[in-house]
Structures are given as structure tokens and as C-alpha cells.
Structure 1
Amino acid sequence: MRTVKNQQLIKIKDERMDIDHIDQCRLSFFIGEHDCQITVFDEQKQKLLLFENHLIQSSPIEFLNKIHDEHELVSAGFWPTIHIQVRNNQFCLVPSFLFDADSAYNYIKLNTESNPELDNYAIRQHKSLAATYVFGYPANIQDWFFARYKKANIHVFHEGSTFLSCIEDHLFKVSKPALYLNCTSDTLMLAGFNGQKLMIYNQFIIGDINQLPKIILMSIQQFSTEGQETSIVLWGVQDRIKSLQPLLKKYFKNLSLGKRPTGFKMSHQFDEIEIFEHVEILGSFSSSNNS
């Protein structure tokens, strides 16, 4: 059930989860500045077993130390696979034909501040989009995981790249320009497509929500001639959707809520997660986001 206890906003667990079968499961952390989601996914049964949301009221490393000390599952040392999903603004999308593997830091610094002495850099190829997603993340976070899970296969991803992979699964049905939005607790992800072609991707820290229609319309005008009639698909956490959906409906005629990614199973305990929530988390369980 959803709770507000010990800075833990959500804890949902499959009642049939068996700790003796951890050897077939993946432990994932979706780490932002202010919150962290933790999931357990049975890779053999393709089933979600645990979903938790925690507030971060200190540094991410202090939070990880605390949750490792207190959480029975996080402290287990025999996870075969660990996924780290980074939530930050250190990213850049580069056309694949222009991509240079030795220039990751140079791409990132065009978009935001980064320190190569403190940050690591990684890439993810989006072949169907003919683009390479470059991102940076604090080296001490990766070091923390390598120090505690010495036998696990550890992979690092970025939330924006995972969101784009979720959208790719829908593109074969779309021929006209469309805008895809995902509103997390403090960030708006925005991806514009003309048919199957990616035209724009960006992320914004949410400040004054009343400014978002203007930002969205300016983004649409960069790739669509249909203006306010451009199709918009909206995902997001429930609290944000409650305020954002009626606001956007005033300006955009073809607004619809996104649906939950498919290709994995969830027990009835997870029904309280709305179908438009946590697309970048639930989408990470699809086969295209597993490596």
C-alpha cells in the first residue's frame, strides 16, 4: 500500500515474492536528487515483485548508505544483476553519424556543467532513431555499487534514454507529428517526433507549472506545422498529472494520457499504480531496456 512513513512514500510488494529466488532477479535503483525508486524484477518470470519510492533528504551516497543498512533486500550481497538509472541533466543526444566516442565530456558540457574528475560518462545507442544518447553521472555512485555488489553485473542507464526506448515501441503506429511528455516529481521530459523520426528531445526542471504550455508550444513549433492541434501523449506521477492535465487541455486539443508499457507481468498489489505513471521505470523492464 502507499504509505508516508520514514520518508518512504510508496512500498508495494508482491505477496508471493520469495527471497530464496533472488538469484533470478534484478535489483534497480532510479536515483535522482530528491528521491529514489527501488524495484525488484524477476527476469525469469518477467514479473515485477517490488516497487518502492523514497525521499532523499541528504546526499545520494548518504541515502544509499542508510538504505543499505536498513533494507533487508538492498543489503543482500548475492544479486546477479544491478541496474542504476540516473536522473539528472547531464545528457546529450547526438546523431549517430556524428558521434565520436572520445568526445563524451565535450558533448555533455555543451548542455550543462560537468567535471571529468568527478563524473563518469556513458553512452546508449538508439539505432532506430539513428542517435546516440550520451550521459554523465557521479563516479562515487558507481563506486558505491561496485564496492557493495562485487559479484553482480552492474549496468548504468539514464532516465531520458529509457523513456525514449519506451516511445520507440509505439512509433510504428504513428505517421503524423506527435509530442511525448513524461512528468516526474520535478522534471518534464519532452520528445517530439515526426512519424518515426526524432526531431527534439529535452528535459526541464519544473518551476512554475503555468509556464509549461508555453514551453511545450515552443517545442512543438520546432518540428510540427500543426501547432496546438499536434497530438500529445502525457505520462507522469499522479500528483503532477492532476494539475498538468487540465492545464494542458485548455491549450491542446489532442491530448491523451499514455498507457503502461507492456511485456511484463504485475500482480494485483500493483494495481494502485495508475496506467500513466512511472513509464520510465516500468518501461525499463522491457527487453529493449535490459542491457
Structure 2
Amino acid sequence: MAKTVTNTHTEFHCDKLDVANTSSLSLLFYPQRLIVLAKNQNGLVIGVNDYPFVEDKELEMILEKDLFVSQMRSQCETTLYVFSPDFCLVPSVLFDASEVQHYLNFSVETTGKDAFYSHLNDSQLVIVGGIDSTLLAIFGNHIKNLTLRHGSSLAIAYLLGEKADMLNQELAVVIEDHEMYVAGFINKELKFFNRFEVRNNQDFLKYSFSVLHQLAFDRMHCKITLYGNLDEINVQEQVLRKYFKNIEITTPKPSQNYLPGAESFRETKKLEAFWAS
């Protein structure tokens, strides 16, 4: 079950937690939030720690004191998922790993940032991401065997796996901490993908209408599927239903498995709480 610890973070731990059983760590890194997800050698989630923070020094303290990171930093593989506006998609046939910094520079200013990339499984896309160099150094000081992926890779990979069940005009929206990833599918093929910061209903409607217009979708007939917690972007379902006729708010098909007790992390409604990449 979820447990708030002295107003510093929330724990979702299995009933009989043994940190020594940790085999891998996934770190979900948002602008002001870090989620540490630990799995055992069987791929079962044994515990999750969810931390808010504001300043870099707070992040450093979190990494120093976190139960899983502090004890397992050099003993297991760790993947850092960076949720930031610094990313772009590159077709695999055009991708050259030596040009990663240049790809990212087409989308964002790259001064003071480190670029990284990952291939999507069974896809023709490569996701290039960026992270502030000082922040990467903080993680590097505390964690060995660190693999970097952009947070958007989780949303794209999941949605591509769902495209066979999509309609000819469909928008899929994945909500992540004051932002949303929007994918547009035409005839079950990905034609649009981007990230938008959303703070209220007006933001959601503005960006949704813009994407619908770009794809020439009929908003009264196309399907819109939302995954995640609407509260994280301060959006109300009853407002959305006034503007969209075919809208579904759902949870991802579960493939993330837990030891008893840790499954309370699903209460966050995050994609990563249900689906394992």
C-alpha cells in the first residue's frame, strides 16, 4: 500500500521488502519529480519511491538517501527515463549515431546539454533526447551502469503496440506530470507525435484542436483515447466531453507485474505503473 514518509516522498513497497533482491532500477525523471522503480530478477516490481523536488541539491540528497539507489548503485542495471521537451524523432534509415547532437539541435538549443538516443523495438524510429549536463553529472555521481532514454519512448512504444486496434482517425494521449504526449494515427499508422505542457482545460483544447486541424481530423467523429491521471494536468472529463463526441479515458493493458503490496503504485494511473517496456 502507499505510504507517505514525513512529507518527503511516497512509498509503494511490497509487503516483504528485501532490497538485496533488486536486479534493475528504472528512474522516471521529471522537471520536479523523480520516481524510483525497483524490480527483482524475475521482473517483478518490489518497490517504488516517488519524490517531489525543486532544486538540484534536493535531487542529489534524494539519490544519496533513496533505499534502492544508495544500496544498489553499482550492482544493477539502471535506466533513466528523461521527461523533458528536449527530444526529436529520426527515421532509422537516416540515423547516424555520430550526428546525435546535430539531430537534437534541429529541435532545441543544445548548449550545456548531453544528447543520447534509443531505438524503438520493431519500429523505424530512433528517439534522440537531451539532458542538462549538470543534472547528468549528478546522476553519474550516484549511479553506475546508467542507460539513458527519453520518456517519450515509453508512450510511443506502447501506442505503436496498440495501433492494430485503432480507428482510421485516432488521437492517443498519454498524460505525464503537467504534460501530455499526443500521437495521431491515420489508418493505423503513426503520422504525428509531440509533447505539450498542459496546465488546464484551455491548454488541452488548444493543443488538441491544433493537432486535429493539422491531421484534417473531424473532431466529432475521430476517436480520442486518454491514458493517465487528468488531475496531473488539471483537466476535467466533463469539459472534454462537451467538445469531443468519441472520447475514452482508460488504463493501459497491464504487463507490469508486482509482488503483493507494491501494486498500489497503479493508483497513480501512470503508464509505467501498468506497462513494462
* TM-aligned CA deviation for residue 186 of structure 1: 1.4
**Aligned residue for 1:49?**
46
Work out which of the residue numbers 62, 70, 73 in structure 1 matches 2:65.
70
Which range moves more in the overlay, 105-114 or 240-249?
240-249
What residue number does 1:17 align with? 17
Amino acid at match of 1:72: L
> Structure 2 matches for 1:179-194, cutoff 5 A?
179-194=171-186
Aligned residue type for 2:197 = I
Unmatched runs of 5 consecutive residues or more in structure 2: none
Instruction: Give the corresponding residue for 1:289.
Output: none
TM-score of the pair, normalised by structure 2:
0.87
Equivalent residue letter for 1:3: T
Give per-residue Cα distances to partners, 1:96-149, cap 9 Å, x unaligned: 33334333223323322221xx32111222364422211111233333333333
Distance 1:143 1:207 in 2: 30
Q: What is the CA-CA distance between 1:81 and the residue it aligns to?
A: 0.9
In structure 2, the partner of 1:132 is 126
Pairwise CA distance, 1:85: 0.8
Report how far residue 190 of structure 1 moved. 0.8
Alignment partner of 1:249 out of 227, 238, 241: 241
Report the CA distance between 1:189 and its aligned residue.
1.1
Comparing both chains, which one has the higher relative contact order based on Cα–Cα distances under 8 Å and sequence gaps of 6 or more? 2
> Which residue identity does 1:79 align to in structure 2?
Q
Of the three residues 158, 172, 182, the one matched with 2:164 is 172
**Partner in structure 2 of residue 91 of structure 1:** 87
Q: Which runs of 4+ in 1 moved over 6 A?
A: none
Distance 1:112 1:280, change over 3 A: farther
Q: Which residue of 2 aligns with 1:3?
A: 4
2:110 equivalent to 1:114: yes
The equivalent of 2:26 in structure 1 is 28
1:163–1:280 contact (8 Å) kept in structure 2: no
Whole-Å separation in 2 of the counterparts to 1:263 and 1:56: 29
CA distance in structure 2 between the aligned counterparts of 1:281 and 1:163, rounded to whole angstroms: 12
Quick one: structure 1 residues 132 and 72, their matched pair in 2 at CA, closer, same or farther if it must change by over 3 Å?
closer
In the TM superposition, 1:127-166 aligns within 5 A as: 128-150=122-144, 153-166=145-158
Residues 211/133 of structure 1: CA separation in 2 closer, same or farther (3 Å cut)? same
Instruction: Give the distance between the partners of 1:103 and 1:231, measured in 2 at CA.
Output: 37
User: Does the 8 Å contact 1:224/1:230 carry over to 2?
Assistant: no
TM-score, L = length of structure 1: 0.83
> Does the 8 A contact of 2:173 with 2:182 survive in 1?
yes
What is the aligned residue count? Answer: 275
Paired-residue identity, % = 19
Q: Is the 8 A contact 2:196 2:207 kept in 1?
A: no
